[in-house]
């Protein structure tokens, strides 16, 4: 069995202390949250940080708060808890359902929302849903703090705009208007412990229960170097009355809004065909929910 390389380990109780440690140790240090990704990479010898700074004792980073027409989730909230919070289940059921299909109970009880974002895997479960919800992230270093829309956060596989001395502290999701519905479908070979072959998150807002679509977001996962909006599909929906025919048109446009590769989990043609099917299905479910007036 592979052993972990040697490293110094810190468990600060305050965020300011964590920022200080990162700023003083520079590129030798790494944050550890749930450890489900970083420890695997360290065991494989892909990375060997000399210092690990844990966020586990900074209790504020596990809080969920409602403020200024948005919901703020601390980056250290474990994935299993995401699906348990009433506020999240009722307001953002699409996020709760993505959390439920991530990994296995063992992984969900360690992995955090911040870790799932910063890892920036092209097939990660939470980024597409959070992008469909219009989420932003707060990044803090010793000297500065900034907010970045998740749409602008990812650069490519494993790469983001976060700097080595920054900590992702919060995920901010704006409250959604009435008559909004959303749905997430992850396609895998198995029902658990499976990385998506293709996943689609769709969210639509109607102007009234039987009205037209005033906002639409469709985010595709595992079919490009990072999660991507199906832009032409989103555009064709705006101002239109929902119908099976309209969703078919959007779904066929979505196929060209992504650039899948062939790998062990699926080929290009299969992935594109699945984008079409999952886009159509997620839009139909989102519409059903939006008509009920439920906030997503």
Ligand X SMILES: Cc1cc2nc3c(=O)[nH]c(=O)nc-3n(C[C@H](O)[C@H](O)[C@H](O)COP(=O)(O)OP(=O)(O)OC[C@H]3O[C@@H](n4cnc5c(N)ncnc54)[C@H](O)[C@@H]3O)c2cc1C
Q: What is the smallest separation between the CB atom of 225 and ligand X, expressed in angstroms?
A: 15
* Closer residue to ligand X in complex, CB, 75/93: 75
Q: What is the smallest separation between the CB atom of 30 and ligand X, expressed in angstroms?
A: 4
* Closer residue to ligand X in complex, CB, 103/242: 103
Distance CA 256, CA 231 (A): 10
Q: What is the smallest separation between the CB atom of 100 and ligand X, expressed in angstroms?
A: 11
| Element spanning 236, H or E | helix 231-237
Distance CA 56, CA 47 (A): 21
Q: What is the smallest separation between the CB atom of 62 and ligand X, expressed in angstroms?
A: 11
* Closer residue to ligand X in complex, CB, 110/291: 110
* Closer residue to ligand X in complex, CB, 75/279: 75
Q: Are 96 and 90 in contact (CB under 8 A)?
A: no
* Closer residue to ligand X in complex, CB, 109/232: 109
Q: What is the smallest separation between the CB atom of 295 and ligand X, expressed in angstroms?
A: 25
Q: Are 238 and 213 in contact (CB under 8 A)?
A: yes
HSE toward the beta carbon, residue 186, CA cutoff 13 A: 28
Position closest to ligand X via CB: 115
Q: Who contacts 78 (Cβ-Cβ below 8 Å, separation ≥6)?
A: 34, 62, 108, 109, 110, 111, 112
Q: What is the smallest separation between the CB atom of 114 and ligand X, expressed in angstroms?
A: 3
Q: Which residues pair with 146 in a beta bridge?
A: 139
Angle between helices 244-254 and 268-291 (to 10 degrees): 140
Residues lying near ligand X in the complex (CB under 6 A) are found at 30-38, 40, 55, 75, 102-103, 107, 110-112, 114-116, 118-119, 121, 124-125, 162, 167-168, 193, 195
Q: Are 48 and 142 in contact (CB under 8 A)?
A: no
* Closer residue to ligand X in complex, CB, 116/205: 116
């Amino acid at each position: 069995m592979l052993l972990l390389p040697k490293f110094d380990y810190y468990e600060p109780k305050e965020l300011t202390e964590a920022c200080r440690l990162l700023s003083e140790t520079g590129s030798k240090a790494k944050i550890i949250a749930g450890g489900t990704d970083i420890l695997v990479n360290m065991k494989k010898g892909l990375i060997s940080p000399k210092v690990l700074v844990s966020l586990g004792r900074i209790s504020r980073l596990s809080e969920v708060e409602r403020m200024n027409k948005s919901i703020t989730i601390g980056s250290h909230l474990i994935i299993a808890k995401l699906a348990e919070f009433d506020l999240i289940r009722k307001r953002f059921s699409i996020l709760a359902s993505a959390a439920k299909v991530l990994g296995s109970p063992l992984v969900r009880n360690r992995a955090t929302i911040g870790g799932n974002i910063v890892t920036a895997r092209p097939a990660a479960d939470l980024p597409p849903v959070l992008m469909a919800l219009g989420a932003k992230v707060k990044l803090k270093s010793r000297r500065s703090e900034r907010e970045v829309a998740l749409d602008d956060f990812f650069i490519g596989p494993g790469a983001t705009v976060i700097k080595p001395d920054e900590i992702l502290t919060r995920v901010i999701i704006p409250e959604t208007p009435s008559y909004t519905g959303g749905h997430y479908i992850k396609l895998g070979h198995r029902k658990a412990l499976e990385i998506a072959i293709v996943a689609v998150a769709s969210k639509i807002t109607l102007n009234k229960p039987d009205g037209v679509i005033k906002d639409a977001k469709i985010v595709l996962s595992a079919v490009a170097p990072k999660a991507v909006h199906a832009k032409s599909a989103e555009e064709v929906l705006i101002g239109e009355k929902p119908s099976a025919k309209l969703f078919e048109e959007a779904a066929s446009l979505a196929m060209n809004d992504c650039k899948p590769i062939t790998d062990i989990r699926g080929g290009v043609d299969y992935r594109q065909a699945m984008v079409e099917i999952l886009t159509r299905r997620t839009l139909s479910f989102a519409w059903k929910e939006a008509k009920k007036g439920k906030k997503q």
